[in-house]
Amino acid sequence: MKILVTGGAGFIGSHLCDTFIEAGHDVVIVDNLVTGRRENINPEAAFYLMDIRSPELAKVFAYERFDAVCHQAAQMDVRKSVADPLFDADVNVKGSINVFENCARHGVGKVLFASTGGAIYGEQESFPCDETHPCRPVSPYGITKFTTEKYLYYYRMQYGLAHTILRYANVYGPRQNPHGEAGVVAIFTSRLLAGEQPVINGDGGQTRDYVFVGDVARANLLSLTGGENDVFNVGTGIETDVNRLFAILNEETGGTAAEQHGPAQPGEQRRSVISYAKAEKLLGFTPEINLETGLRKTVASFRKR
């Protein structure tokens, strides 16, 4: 199968490319390298330096003739989406429409879409929540992801374009950028290894569902041939608070830093954890890497880098 991975030079996208190639698929990457890195690109993949909003994307589709598209490219920074909602919508909605239009015009069989399992639900009513939980995003980023899901439904009804939507929990692992839209794992790890003091926002009791990037890549591989026209959470179903996360990373990096707290971030979600039961039943997906093992692998990769 020939697969286009948008954002394939990024943290998550590059792991997906590696997994697809290891499974015997042909991979083509489109990435503008704003947050992606050339060194993340698998040498067996073809690469186009291009923004997903570009009119030139049509030429890539016409030439390559993709069987499937794995759409990972996005403006991923929640805080940046709050500061500049127009830019967030331009990339995440208009860029996605450009991708889907080309899928419909050039006979793509299926789209895999990276949505969000944290920002899309807002403040949860059940823990862990499943895919039937109300979607009440409280950030422009969450809104654009939810909107893009609805566009996929439109393209299915209008053009017969099949899709699988994967709502990721908080993804972490090797290659995550400790700058820009970085998650707390990358930020803490880079600062601890540099001998700098990380600061925990508020009391550190806020929880997230941390899922290892290798497990996310496997969920995408399973979705190439399963879960058609459906939506799935991809997480662990386990809540971990920031204090616990800091303690594990501090120990893995030498255990010399103190636990230091700063002001709470206004509007920060208190609890977020999602159920993967549906993905387990219909895709055969279960997370294989526990948090301690995943963080150990992440720290090791940051040491090398």
| Mean local confidence (pLDDT), 133-150 | 96
Residues 122 and 201 in one domain: no
| Catalytic-labelled residue, pool 48, 63, 121, 141 | 141
Write the pLDDT tens digit of every residue in 230-250: 999 999 999 999 999 999 999
Residues 50 and 162 in one domain: yes
| Mean local confidence (pLDDT), 69-83 | 94
Q: In terms of residues, how long is the chain? A: 305
Residues 52 and 93 in one domain: yes
pLDDT at site 178: 87
* CATH of residue 75: 3.40.50.720
pLDDT at site 181: 55
* CATH of residue 298: 3.90.25.10
Gyration radius from the chain CA atoms:
19
pTM above 0.75, yes or no: yes
Write the pLDDT tens digit of every residue in 212-226: 999 999 999 999 999
- pLDDT-derived band at 16, boundaries 50, 70, 90: very high
Q: Where are the alpha helices (DSSP H) in the chain?
A: 11-22, 57-64, 78-83, 85-89, 95-105, 140-159, 184-193, 213-223, 242-252, 277-282, 291-304
pLDDT value at 117 more than 60 = yes
What is the extent of the structural domain holding 191? Answer: 173-207+239-273+289-304
Residues 83 and 202 in one domain: no
- Which among 225, 21, 203, 190 has a CA at the least distance from the CA of 110? 225
Residues 164 and 32 in one domain: yes
Is there a contact between 171 and 115 (Cβ–Cβ < 8 Å)? no
Residues 231 and 252 in one domain: no
Residues 122 and 186 in one domain: no
Residues 36 and 160 in one domain: yes
Residues 49 and 181 in one domain: no
Active-site residue, 141 included: yes
Is there a contact between 43 and 17 (Cβ–Cβ < 8 Å)? no
Residues 258 and 214 in one domain: no
Residues 91 and 202 in one domain: no
Task: Indicate the number of domains in the chain.
Answer: 2
Residues 225 and 81 in one domain: yes
